[in-house]
Structures are given as C-alpha cells and as structure tokens.
Amino acid sequence: MAAWRLYVVVGCFLAALFVMGGRVVYLHVFERDFLQDQGDARTIRMERINAHRGMIQDRQGKPMAISSPVVSLWANPAEFIEANEGMDQVALMLEIDPAEFRARMEKNRNREFVYLRRKLVPEAAEKVLALDISGVYAEREYERFYPAGEVAAHVVGFTDVRDEGQEGLELSYNQWLKGQPGRKKVLKNLYGEIVRDIMPVAEASPGKNLELSIDLRLQYLAYRELKSAVSGYEAQSGSAVILDVDTGQVLALVNHPSFNPNNRAELDINAVRNRAVTDVFEPGSTVKPFTVAVALGTGRYSPQSTIDTNPGYVRVDGKTIPDPANYGVLDLGGIIEKSSQVGITRLALDLNEYEVWQLFSAVGLGQSTGMGFPGERTGYLPNHRRWKDIERATFAYGYGLTVTPLQLASAYLTIASGGMKRQVTLLKSSGIHEERVMDERITQQLISMMKRVTEFGTGSKAALEAYSVAGKTGTVRKRKEGETGYDDTRHMAFFAGMTPAEHPRLVGVIMIDDPRKQGYGGGSILASVFSRIMSGALRMLNVTPQLPDEAA
C-alpha cells in the first residue's frame, strides 16, 4: 500500500514536470515574439530628444536669441515619498519651503510625473542629482536667452516654458526656429530609471537660424535716445523706426517702455506691446507733404505757386482753422516749412479729395506693411462717399485717419526712394520688392521743400553738422477717452525725415505719446532726438559726410 502511494506521488510529479516542460517549450517556440514584446513594453520606453531652437541674429551675425542647455528635474511622487529620504534637503536646494514641498508630493502621490523645477542650470541640477535620491530624475532641455535684453525685446519676442514662440519674431517664425524633436529607445528599470540608451529612432532636427536686417549698434543707439526722451519729457511711451532706403530693411525698431525677456517674473503686459506696429495714431502734419505732392501732380501747381494765408485763419463749415501766426502769402515749400494749417486747408479745398485719398493709400497708409509681424495694425483710411469740406481739410493735414509709426516710415521711404514704394522687411535676405507710386520729379521737389523745415522751419533742431536733412514735424491733440472731441492738454508728437537729403540713405520716424514736460511739439522735443540718432547712425554705417556745397 505504501509503495503504491509512492508511485502515485512520483507519477503526479513527473506528469506536472512534463506539463511544465511542455509549456516552457510551447512559450519558447510559439509565443516567444509575443512575450518578448510584452517584456519590452514593460522595460523599454520611447524618450523624447529635445531639438535645439535656431538662433536669431542681427545683420552682422550678433546673437539676439540663443538656446542654452538646461536641466529640468522631475519626480515620481509615490516613489519619492516611499524612499523617505532627502525630501527636505531637495526642497531647500530648490529654494522651496519643505512643508509646502511635502504637501505637494502627497497631493500628487497617484501621479507618475511631477516637475520639481524647470530649466535649471546644469551645475545646480547636478548637485540635486548627486544626492542619488530615489524618485528624482532629470530631463535635458534648452532655455532661450536674449543677449540684447530690453533693447530688442519687442522685435525678437520670447518663448514659453515649452520653448514655443509667444511674441515677436519668436512667434511669427516659430516653425522655422523650433526644429523637430527626435525619439530614442531606452531601457528602464522597475523604478523608472533609464538604465541605458538602446538606439535612436529619429534624430532631433535643430531649428534653422534667422538673420534679421536689424543692426544692433543702431538698435542700442535708438533705444538709448528714445528712452532718454520718454523719461526726460515724462511721456507715456515712445517708438522709433529706422529704415534703409536702398533695401527697405528695418535697421532699428524700438519702443519704450520695454521689458526684459530674460526675467518675466513681474512682467507688465502693457510693456510687451510692440507699439511701432500695433499702436495707431492720427499722423497730423507729417502727411502734409503728400497733400502737396497731389497738388504738384495736377500740373496746376509748381513749387513756386503761392497760397494766401491771410488773416492767419480760415473758416470751413462753421469751424475756425488757425495758424500760430499770420504767415501771409506762402509758396508750397513755405506751407511745409511753417506747417501752415491755413495754407494746406486752402490747397486741399482746391484739390480732388479722391486723388488725395488715392495717394495716401498708394504710399501704404491705412494698409498692412506686409512684414508679417504678429499683431500688426492696418490703421484707418476713411473713404467717404461724400466728403464735407471740413473732412477734406482735416484729412489733408492728418486728422481723421490713423497710421502706425512703421507705416509712416514706409510712406516717407517712398519719397526718399524717388517714388518707389519698397516692401519693408525685418529679414536680411528677403530681396527688394518695389513699385512706382509717385513721380520722381515730384519727390525731389518735396525733399527740397522738407529741407527748408530743418534749415529754417519747425524742425530746425533736426539739422546735422555734416549731412543735409529733409523732414517734417507733427503734433496732434489726443482724443478724449470715452468722449467725442479732442483734449487740448494731451498731445502726440512726431518727427519723420530722411538723410542725407540729396541721396537719402536712412529714413527715420520718432513718436512720443503724451509728453508732459518741456513742451509737446514735434519740432521742439523730437527734432533733436532725430538729429542725435541719425548722426550716430550715419557714422556707424560709414556714410561719407557731405561737402558744404553738397549740403547746401
């Protein structure tokens, strides 16, 4: 009986062993690929390889935005808590209150991934990793750095924590700059730690560099002078634009107030706005040369034609339009030189209002510049079915329409280029796109008239010692907030001009919003700012000074 039981036990054991052996053979032969895939799924992971974002450079190759390698620390909260070691030490090294840190880990205990600190410098991250605490891991990333800081912030913009463009050229050229991330297979242990890299699946493709037309030397110069002017005149804000006449390229574009894109902890959202392309204003007297151009184009007027401005004011539709003084009889150049409202009004009432509108539109007022900058405003160019006389008059001297500083600079670029409307651009290698919209002879006559503004007229402070300047001042009252009409105590001041006048190389526009100190006129406060910016810019660009007879 005992022997029989032994045979049964041995038989059962052998049968079980046979079944198990058969199962092993079956799994090894028939289920090997399936089991291998299942094992890999639990130990092999796909990891992202972050792509290096392209550099933004000025026209000389100087960096305006670069990406630096950084390390982001993350944790598996459950693993971190179970390890029960070094949590307070990690919190202190990351400058976080330990109690708050522990509460955060407990709150996220059921999650597998929580960032501890994004984008630390590698040295700081390595100190934390050197503690060798379970549940704390690292991810290699890149962080954007802007060497020019607030000086070029409105042009370049910035990226978010995911390295995606949010403002400026970082946003509009995001696809060009950001590149494509790669992927790789890695082997992880049961704690989620990467044991080793297995193989790359797709290589990361770095972003492409972006070469701008901006000259950082001019950018710094223009920003310094603009910032000084806004502060000195206690103004709300200001903008300045410098264009290259030959190419239409933007050499400098600055605004104040500005912001530091490298430290946005206490960012004022109002300072982020690129006012040179997003803010619109009535251009005032800066459009008077275009009204005079329409008169010259009719063939009924010449530069020597005169307008009687006596007695120093004119009544239109029951409204009085005055000059600061009675200028008497003025030729067309005198109207621009003195910035006579009466003279331009009487001239405008003798012109076809649609022809004035057509020229304003042809030079780009009320239209997008096509530069592709995010948030760019088109401004407003009214086109009434029937124009009242007062609308014809005010439109001719810059009220009732709105433009941006960049649009105004583009319009003056058309005069400086001999009547060719050139596409303005922020890119160095975009090519030249142009079309003729004004007669070259008329533009030369306008430049001669605008030279009188800087030699004897309202913009005499814009004159340069070794170069001739042609330009126009402008001052407009601001509209009352929430009301109709204008506020006599608040103004916007402008100066638009070009130099050297005979063969213009640069066009510049400067705008100051609501100056409160030392006057408010474009000629009294901005002509000198234009002079300082252009004087330095011409020297930096090695533009040969003019001989006395050339500048005359």
Residues 387, 390, 396, CA angle at the centre, nearest 5°?
85
Cα 485 to Cα 499: distance, rounded to the nearest angstrom: 36
Cα 472 to Cα 465: distance, rounded to the nearest angstrom: 18
| Cis peptide bond prior to 200, omega within 30° of 0 | no
Residue type present at position 267: L
Cα 292 to Cα 330: distance, rounded to the nearest angstrom: 13
Q: DSSP secondary structure string, 18-61?
A: HHHHHHHHHHHHHSHHHHHHHHHHHHEEEEEEPPPPPPEE-TTS
Active-site residue, 417 included: no
Nearest Cα neighbor of 492 from 505, 510, 506 is: 510
DSSP 3-state of 125: helix
Cα 144 to Cα 157: distance, rounded to the nearest angstrom: 11
Cα 56 to Cα 209: distance, rounded to the nearest angstrom: 6
What would the two tokens of residue 389 be? Answer: 């006389």
Neighbours of 467 (CB within 10 A): 23
Catalytic residue among 285, 339, 340, 528: 285
Q: Are 67 and 53 in contact (CB under 8 A)?
A: yes
Helices 341-348 and 389-396, axial angle in degrees (round to 10)? 130
Cα 303 to Cα 451: distance, rounded to the nearest angstrom: 13
CA torsion, ordered 381, 387, 391, 392, to nearest 10 deg: 90
Neighbours of 155 (CB within 10 A): 28
The conformation of residue 143, written as its DSSP 8-state character, comes to E
Nearest Cα neighbor of 218 from 543, 551, 495 is: 543
Per the listing, tokens 């605004």 go with 255
Contacts of 495 (CB under 8 A, 6+ apart): 459, 462, 471, 472, 473, 474, 508, 509, 510, 522, 523, 526, 527, 529, 530
Cα 434 to Cα 421: distance, rounded to the nearest angstrom: 5
User: Catalytic residue positions?
Assistant: 285
